[in-house]
Every structure is written in structure tokens, then in C-alpha cells.
């Protein structure tokens, strides 16, 4: 039951469409499956697709028109773009104060737009430095606070 609001919010936030299967295998009783099915129906009230009722195994299928790739699909096509956005978001949410060290794969350089450092510095109020390592996955850069 706790997953239902997150499912509805994630479908909308990530613009997920097409055919989606949601499995609740741990719901054993029919009554509990019906309660979960009704809660999901209410959570998806504004959702623009169709859905099946939960079957006896706890599986629900959602179907909606796929008008464009979802955010997840777009980033899956470009790990470098995902890495660049991930790095910016991690820098912006880094706790503390003082300079930030951005650690990334050197191949990420081609995805970093002009003005990236200035924009991130302005949003965070912190200075940036870079550390490049081929051992870091392209889509998984990270940020460290540097003690002044």
C-alpha cells in the first residue's frame, strides 16, 4: 500500500507511458488485493491511460499512448547526458559549505555545456574543481565537499 502513491507520482513525474506492468506478489489474500487495486485506481484517477484489474497473482497492467520517450528512456539513450544532469543535481544538493570537487569520467567532458561551471557555482554559491577518472562510470559521477 505504501508503494501506491509513489507509483502514481513516478508515472507522472517521469512521463512513463506505453505498456507498464506493476506486480504486487506479496499480497496474498483476495481482499487485500482488492483493497490495493482500489487504492491504485484512486491514485491513478488523473492518469491518461487504461489499466487492468489486479489479477490473482497481484499483477496489474497499465497501457497508455506513448507520445514521446519518457525521461528514463531519453537518458538511457545518452548516458553522458544523464551523467551531466546527475552531476549538476548532486552538486546543487551537496550539504555543507566550501568548495566542491566534481568527480567524473573524462568522456563526460563532451557533454558538459559551456557555462556549466559558472551556472552550478551560481546556484550553489560554491567554487568548483574537477577530478577526472576513467574508473568512474559515465552516468555515475559524484561530488565531494572539499575542506577549505
Note whether 50 and 106 are same-domain residues: no
Give the closest residue to 104 by CA, choosing from 75, 142, 144, 78.
Answer: 142
Note whether 88 and 140 are same-domain residues: yes
Q: Is 113 among the domain residues?
A: yes
Q: Residue 21's Cα: distance from chain center in Å?
A: 18
Q: Which residues of 107-136 are buried (b: 16+ CB within 10 A; e: fewer)?
A: ebeebbeeebeeebeeebebebebeeeeeb
Q: Is 70 among the domain residues?
A: no
20 beta partners: 62
Note whether 138 and 95 are same-domain residues: yes
- pLDDT tens series, the chain, 148 aa: 888 999 988 888 888 888 899 998 888 888 998 999 999 989 988 888 888 888 888 899 999 887 777 777 777 788 888 888 889 999 999 988 889 999 999 999 999 999 999 999 999 999 999 999 999 998 889 999 987 6
Note whether 20 and 52 are same-domain residues: yes
Note whether 50 and 109 are same-domain residues: no
Note whether 7 and 44 are same-domain residues: yes
* pTM score: 0.56
Provide the grid cell at 47: 492518469
Residue 32, burial from CB neighbour count under 10 angstroms (0-12, 13-18, 19+):
middle
What domain range includes position 102?
Answer: 78-145
What is the tally of structural domains in the chain? 2
Q: Is 126 helix (H, G, I), strand (E, B) or coil?
A: coil
Q: Is 69 among the domain residues?
A: no
Note whether 42 and 100 are same-domain residues: no
Q: How far apart are CA 145 and CA 128, in angstroms?
A: 10
Amino acid at each position: 500500500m505504501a508503494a501506491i502513491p509513489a507509483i502514481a507520482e513516478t508515472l507522472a513525474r517521469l512521463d512513463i507511458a506505453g505498456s507498464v506492468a506493476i506486480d504486487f506478489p506479496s499480497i496474498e489474500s483476495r481482499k487485500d488485493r482488492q483493497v490495493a487495486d482500489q487504492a491504485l485506481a484512486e491514485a491513478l484517477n488523473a492518469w491518461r491511460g487504461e489499466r487492468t484489474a489486479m489479477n490473482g497473482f497481484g499483477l496489474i497492467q497499465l497501457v497508455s499512448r506513448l507520445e514521446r520517450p519518457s525521461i528514463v528512456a531519453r537518458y538511457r539513450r545518452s548516458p553522458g547526458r544523464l551523467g551531466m544532469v546527475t552531476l549538476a543535481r548532486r552538486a546543487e544538493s551537496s550539504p555543507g559549505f566550501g568548495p566542491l570537487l566534481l568527480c567524473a569520467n573524462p568522456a563526460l567532458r563532451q557533454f558538459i555545456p559551456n557555462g556549466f561551471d559558472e551556472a552550478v557555482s551560481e546556484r550553489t554559491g560554491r567554487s568548483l574543481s574537477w577530478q577526472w577518472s576513467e574508473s568512474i562510470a559515465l552516468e555515475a559521477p559524484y561530488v565531494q565537499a572539499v575542506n577549505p
